[in-house]
Chain A
Amino acid sequence: MQTLSDHILDIAQNSIRAKASRVEIDLQEDPSTDSLTFTIRDNGCGMDEATLAKVTDPFFTSRTVRKVGLGIPLLKQNAEATGGTLQIESKQGVGTTLEAKFSLTHWDRPPLGDMAGSIVILVSANPDIEFIYRHITEKGCYTFDTEEVKEIMEGVPVNDPEIVMALRQMIRENIKEITQTT
């Protein structure tokens, strides 16, 4: 994966496949501890211990169309290449929480990439799922909540191309404000 936003888009789809109705994505950049951490928390079906033990194995997948599952192994590899960690907690019937920690300034840390694009793709393809995206930097905090958006939309579908582009711009502008380096 080229960017962290690609990883987030990829991993969040595991939550969708786990039939979650609410997916929370938190991203925190903290220069004081030289860390960039993102957490994806869902209320999906969760995994039993045996499955959880196998998720970082690239030759394990719950899909039937192919025999490899690279989403989590690739993320783990990228995180660990920067001296970071990947942790997954899961409880059947409750949900799953994944936390990936990167070194913020490490050469091998992939750039954040088009976070707004990833969020908008998730939101527009899954209009029935509530997504909350929280981005925290030392400059401030931005929260995007699909419930707020739906209230405004009053029935206009969030996957209309024009709405998709507007949402993307809105998220992008807000992220820019808290990440811009002067």
Chain B
Amino acid sequence: MEKIKSLADLKRIKENVQTKIDLREKSEQVESLVQIKVAMATCGIAAGSKETMNYFIENLEKNGIVAVVTQTGCMGYCYAEPTVEITKPGKDPIVFGHVTTERAEEIIQKYLKNDELVADIIPVNFDTIKDR
């Protein structure tokens, strides 16, 4: 991979990405993006959520998955950090606990590709009245 050091180098990368995005938008799948939220509060960071997030960013495209990877705060599952919430288009979000980089790979291969569930899913423990 070429070295990126200056803003000019960055601009070159941007040109490439721009064309890819244009192609993607034309193939009408903008709404069908997978959303991946990595919990990143004190508890998450201390448990290594940074590596988990980097792993997702670096490995999704290799696996042909177009997803938005972002961060969120603490959901109160500090004991199970790093936690990751994944929303597949048209489905309810699922929260995965103890997502180390190995587990992240498992999630990519099993859940994201084949809809198979993996261990350490944190069950939904309440509904709000609004949801009913």
A residues contacting B by CB (< 8 A) are 1-2, 6, 9-10, 13, 17, 63, 65-66, 69-71, 74, 114, 117-118, 121, 124-125, 148-149, 152-154, 156-157, 159-167, 169-170, 173-174
Rank and list the top 6 A-B pairs by shortest CB-CB distance, nearest first: A65-B76, A166-B13, A125-B71, A71-B42, A173-B5, A169-B4
Are A65 and B75 CB-contacts (below 8 A) given A161-B61, A166-B13? yes
State the CA gap A124–B40 with chains docked (Å). Answer: 13
B residues contacting A by CB (< 8 A) are 3-7, 9-11, 13-14, 16-18, 20-21, 40-43, 45-46, 50, 53-54, 57-58, 60-61, 68-71, 73-76, 78
State the CA gap A113–B108 with chains docked (Å). Answer: 27
User: Which B residue's beta carbon lies closest to that of A16?
Assistant: B73
Contact of B50 among A6, A148, A159, A165 (CB under 8 A): A6
A-B contact pairs, 12 of them (CB 8 A): A9-B50, A66-B74, A71-B42, A124-B70, A125-B70, A125-B71, A148-B7, A154-B18, A156-B18, A159-B69, A161-B69, A170-B9
State the CA gap A72–B4 with chains docked (Å). Answer: 34
Which one of A1, A121, A152, A170 has the greatest number of beta carbons of chain B within 10 Å? A121
Tell me what chain B mostly uses at the interface: helix, strand, loop, or mixed: helix
How many A-B contacts if CB must be within 8 Å?
A: 97
